[in-house]
């Protein structure tokens, strides 16, 4: 079940609306820019988000927030010109060890420049005890963010085991709707995504979705 802080988080009601068809047209809570390993300039990603008509967006570059200010400014510019840009949520993708497996964690909707996240925003994965999943969970929580396991079926351990371990550590949810086949145009992978959704629903945890875009088209990976 969700912790009280997660229940009160302003992003939680949005994530409660996530369905199989929410991405990439309405919501995208996982994408990248040139500020980590993506190909899109922050301003170009913002323009694509507006053109698509996204309602909510989080850019989750690996271990950094460098793109956030530029994207926010670009969306504000689109708004001044009469467009209806998406609500932008601060996000980051952090590597950590869960059950001895290297996984990625999405931190969403956290406070800017919170000291707890400083070690994780230096452009590279940390080493030592800070790499443990419980340390990452604590850091994101202290910053006021939600903690979600990214693409649970992409790791060497089965998603059932990883989600169970994540739930025990106090993760708020996981990325459910994901294109594991990495098609040219994003669409969720049948069966595996549905199994992850059922697992999270049973646990009362949040579901997210995202294209995990690394290329030049926000509708694909």
Angstrom distances, CA of residue 201 to CA of 1, 85, 91, 144, 207: 10, 30, 23, 23, 8
User: Does this model's pTM top 0.95?
Assistant: yes
Tell me phi and psi for residue 42, to 5 degrees: -55, -40
Pairwise CA distance, residues 79 & 171, whole Å: 34
Q: Are 1 and 24 in contact (CB under 8 A)?
A: no
Q: Give the full edge-to-edge strand order of the sheet including 173-177.
A: 27-28, 56-59, 87-98, 101-108, 146-149, 173-177, 206-209
Pairwise CA distance, residues 44 & 56, whole Å: 16
pLDDT of residue 200: 98
Q: Is the pLDDT of residue 1 over 90?
A: no
All domains of the chain, ordered by start, with CATH?
A: 4-209 (3.20.20.140)
pLDDT of residue 70: 98
pLDDT of residue 132: 98
Pairwise CA distance, residues 73 & 15, whole Å: 24
- Percent of the chain past pLDDT 90, that is, above it, reads 96
| Structure confidence by residue, pLDDT tens digits, 36-68 | 999 999 999 999 999 999 999 999 999 999 999
- Percent of the chain past pLDDT 70, that is, above it, reads 100
pLDDT of residue 112: 83
Q: Are 151 and 175 in contact (CB under 8 A)?
A: yes
| Structure confidence by residue, pLDDT tens digits, 139-158 | 999 999 999 999 999 999 99
| Structure confidence by residue, pLDDT tens digits, 167-177 | 999 999 999 99
Rounded to an integer, the average pLDDT of 114-137 is 97
Rounded to an integer, the average pLDDT of 93-122 is 96
pLDDT of residue 78: 98
pLDDT of residue 113: 78
Tell me phi and psi for residue 58, to 5 degrees: -135, 125
């Amino acid at each position: 079940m969700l912790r009280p802080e997660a229940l009160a988080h302003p992003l939680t009601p949005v994530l409660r609306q996530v369905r199989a068809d929410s991405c990439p047209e309405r919501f995208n809570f996982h994408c990248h820019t040139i500020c980590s390993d993506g190909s899109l300039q922050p301003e170009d990603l913002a323009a694509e988000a507006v053109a698509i008509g996204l309602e909510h967006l989080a850019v989750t570059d690996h271990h950094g927030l460098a793109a956030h200010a530029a994207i926010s400014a670009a969306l504000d510019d689109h708004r001044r010109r009469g467009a209806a840009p998406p609500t932008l949520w601060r996000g980051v993708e952090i590597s950590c060890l869960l059950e001895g497996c290297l996984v990625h964690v999405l931190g969403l909707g956290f406070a800017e420049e919170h000291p707890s996240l400083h070690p994780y925003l230096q452009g590279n994965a940390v080493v030592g005890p800070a790499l443990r999943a419980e340390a990452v969970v604590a850091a994101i929580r202290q910053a006021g963010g939600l903690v979600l396991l990214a693409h649970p079926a992409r790791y060497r351990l089965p998603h059932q085991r990883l989600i169970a371990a994540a739930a025990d550590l106090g993760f708020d949810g996981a990325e459910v709707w994901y294109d594991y086949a990495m098609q040219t145009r994003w669409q969720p992978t049948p069966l595996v995504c549905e199994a992850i959704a059922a697992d999270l629903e049973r646990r009362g945890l949040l579901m997210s979705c995202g294209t995990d875009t690394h290329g030049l088209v926000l509708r694909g990976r």
